[in-house]
């Protein structure tokens, strides 16, 4: 790291910059290292421990050894530790945000927002730890009593993506810890520094050695570590956020050990604007939903469907709104769109835009790479009108700042187009008609529906998808379900 120019030179607490993995409470340097870069400048930020499959075995063993003591703490004891972790995350919001912007690229205010969002899962599950209630059931014979216990599932693994380097960890790890499970985390190669700083704060909060382990690794070692986590009989649950393709691999690899899985995979979110919508509100919602994190969010809108009667008005107002966006280094004041995570992401966005243009789409904003901003991976916020179903963007997740706008005539046509995908994570629509609101909400084959809003996630709602967008729900009181096993007790002879 160049200590003069690196954004990480300005941390209030430089000891949060951890570059080794964490196994059994010890920082582990690994036998090789990999570099982490700033996507806004290309500058090297740090070299990080490239942990191996053998390290993964050690982390699993450490977690398993730490499990008995962790699960026998009272719920309140675990809750107090989690609450302390939450307080430390919030007390270090600036530094965590700075590390995140440096390695991930999202604007600094948005990064600090993610710190608060990520910390909110720790706060929420610190409370939920105390509400993992069992049940008594009516007996079928008066000499018996029937009970249901909820017990921690065991060692859990969390494999997390680069787009939310903090929140995707806490959304998985906090319910696991609350339920009494130890965890092994495998963060993304591109954003390990945020994850390691979060682990350092977990240590400071008093999470015992072995209860939270973190395996930083490059892409090749990540694949090898993934195989170890899936093959292990000790690991009883894997939670993954990332591409559908990798989700399928992890599921297949986990079949021999019949693991429980929580999968939060790709989306292809539709955003429908009906004739009766408040168009100004729809434009704001569309902007927030599409360009948050430069479009690199699984719940970001991928396809806009606008009814004929308001199509021209929506496109004109939306393009004007998009042209107000300021693109640049996330540390620069006023910037609301940072760089894309890597060159391959730019190539994918350009491929989708070029394909749309070749098939008759009209560019009304943006359309190309922003090379005026130096070596960073910046793409203009883009809107293309006249989108059609044969375009790549109709079926593939772009994961970037490109908004194709399709038109439709009838409500049924919009519903059919929205559902014509193997994905089913988030969907959005704008309407002021109460009957339509219920009809369309019920007809959309999605795990989440935003009505007259463009952003819908928070810690106490169930986040997750249907179809090939995944399994399970994260956050909310449902979010703990995957981390407990249900045990039925049938107690007889009670009359004796």
Ligand X SMILES: O=C(O)CCCC(=O)O
Ligand Y SMILES: NC(=O)C1=CN([C@@H]2O[C@H](COP(=O)(O)OP(=O)(O)OC[C@H]3O[C@@H](n4cnc5c(N)ncnc54)[C@H](OP(=O)(O)O)[C@@H]3O)[C@@H](O)[C@H]2O)C=CC1
List contacts with ligand X (CB under 6 A): 163-164, 168, 241, 264, 297-299, 457, 463
Nearer to ligand X, 22 or 157 (CB): 157
Q: Report, in Å, the least distance between residue 490 CB and ligand Y.
A: 40
Q: By CB under 6 A, is residue 446 in contact with ligand Y? A: no
Nearer to ligand X, 221 or 297 (CB): 297
Q: By CB under 6 A, is residue 426 in contact with ligand Y? A: no
265 binds, options ligand Y, ligand X, none, Cβ within 5 to 8 A by partner type? ligand Y
Query: Which residues lie below 8 Å from residue 490, measured CB to CB, with a gap of 6+?
Result: 144, 146
CA angle 477, 481, 482 (to 5 degrees): 135
Closest CB to ligand Y: residue number: 226
Query: Which residues lie below 8 Å from residue 342, measured CB to CB, with a gap of 6+?
Result: 39, 190, 377
Q: By CB under 6 A, is residue 266 in contact with ligand Y? A: yes
Nearer to ligand Y, 102 or 298 (CB): 298
Q: Out of 29, 148, 219, 491, which residue is the one contacting ligand Y (CB under 6 A)? A: 219
Q: Which residue has the tokens 């939310």?
A: 164
DSSP string across 98-139: HHHHHHH---HHHHHHHHHHHHHHHHHHHHHGGG---EEE--
Q: Report, in Å, the least distance between residue 299 CB and ligand X.
A: 5
299 binds, options ligand Y, ligand X, none, Cβ within 5 to 8 A by partner type? ligand X
160 binds, options ligand Y, ligand X, none, Cβ within 5 to 8 A by partner type? ligand Y
Query: Which residues lie below 8 Å from residue 374, measured CB to CB, with a gap of 6+?
Result: 41
Q: Which residue has the tokens 């394909």?
A: 355
Q: By CB under 6 A, is residue 162 in contact with ligand Y? A: yes
Concerning whether 264 is annotated as a catalytic residue, the answer is: yes
Sign of CA dihedral 123, 127, 128, 132: positive
Among the listed ranges 69-77, 263-271, 274-282, 322-330, the one in contact with ligand Y (CB under 6 A) is 263-271
Q: Order the strands of the 235-241 sheet from edge to edge.
A: 26-28, 21-23, 212-214, 183-186, 155-159, 235-241, 260-264, 470-471
> Interaction with ligand Y in 174-193: which residues (CB under 6 A)?
186, 188-190
Helix pair angle (192-205, 75-91), 10° resolution? 130
Catalytic residue among 110, 123, 189, 264: 264
Both tokens of 323, joined, read 């042209």
Which residues are annotated as catalytic? 264
Contact set with ligand Y (CB under 6 A): 159-163, 186, 188-190, 217, 219, 222-223, 226, 241-243, 246, 249, 264-266, 298, 397, 399
């Amino acid at each position: 790291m160049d200590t003069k120019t690196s954004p990480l030179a300005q941390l209030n607490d430089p000891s949060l910059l951890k570059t080794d993995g964490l196994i059994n409470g010890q920082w582990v340097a690994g036998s090789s290292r990999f570099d982490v870069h700033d996507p806004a400048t290309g500058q090297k930020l740090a070299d990080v421990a490239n942990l191996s499959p053998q390290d993964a075995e050690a982390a699993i063993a450490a977690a398993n050894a730490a499990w008995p003591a962790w699960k026998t703490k009272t719920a309140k004891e675990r809750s107090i530790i989690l609450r302390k972790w939450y307080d430390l995350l919030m007390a270090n919001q600036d530094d965590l945000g700075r590390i995140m912007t440096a390695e991930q690229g999202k604007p600094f205010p948005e990064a600090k927002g993610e710190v608060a969002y990520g910390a909110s899962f720790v706060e929420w599950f610190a409370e939920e730890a105390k509400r993992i209630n069992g049940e008594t059931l009516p007996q079928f014979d008066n000499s018996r009593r029937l009970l249901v216990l909820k017990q921690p599932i065991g060692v859990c693994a969390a494999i997390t993506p680069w787009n939310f380097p903090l929140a995707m960890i806490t959304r998985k790890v906090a319910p696991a810890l609350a339920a009494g499970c130890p965890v092994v985390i495998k963060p993304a190669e591109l954003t390990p520094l945020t994850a390691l700083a979060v682990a350092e704060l977990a240590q400071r909060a008093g999470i015992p050695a072995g209860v939270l382990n973190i395996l930083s690794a490059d892409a090749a070692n990540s694949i090898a570590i993934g195989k170890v986590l899936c093959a292990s009989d000790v690991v009883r649950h894997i939670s993954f956020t990332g591409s559908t393709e990798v989700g399928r691999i992890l599921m297949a690899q986990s079949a021999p050990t019949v693991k429980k899985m929580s999968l939060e995979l790709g989306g292809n979110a539709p955003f429908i604007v009906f004739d009766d919508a408040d168009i100004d509100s729809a434009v704001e919602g569309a902007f927030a939903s599409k360009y948050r994190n430069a479009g690199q969010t699984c719940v970001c809108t991928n396809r806009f469907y606008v009814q004929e009667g308001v199509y021209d008005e929506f496109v004109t107002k939306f393009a004007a709104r998009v042209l107000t966006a300021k693109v640049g280094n996330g540390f620069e004041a006023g910037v609301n769109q940072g760089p894309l995570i890597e060159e391959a992401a730019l190539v994918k966005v350009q491929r989708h835009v070029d394909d749309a243009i070749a098939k008759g789409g009209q560019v009304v904003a943006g359309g190309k790479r922003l090379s005026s901003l130096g070596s960073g991976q910046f793409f203009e916020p883009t809107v293309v009108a006249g989108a059609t179903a044969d375009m790549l963007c109709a079926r593939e997740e772009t994961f970037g700042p490109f908004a194709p706008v399709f038109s439709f005539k009838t409500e049924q046509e919009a519903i059919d187009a929205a559902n014509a995908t193997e994905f089913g994570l988030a969907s959005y629509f704008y309407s002021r008609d109460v009957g339509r609101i219920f009809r369309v909400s019920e007809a959309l084959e999605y795990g989440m529906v935003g009505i007259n809003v463009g952003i819908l996630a928070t810690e106490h709602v169930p986040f997750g998808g249907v179809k090939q967008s995944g399994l399970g729900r994260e956050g909310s009181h449902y979010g703990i379900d995957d981390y407990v096993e249900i045990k039925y007790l049938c107690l007889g002879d009670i009359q004796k």
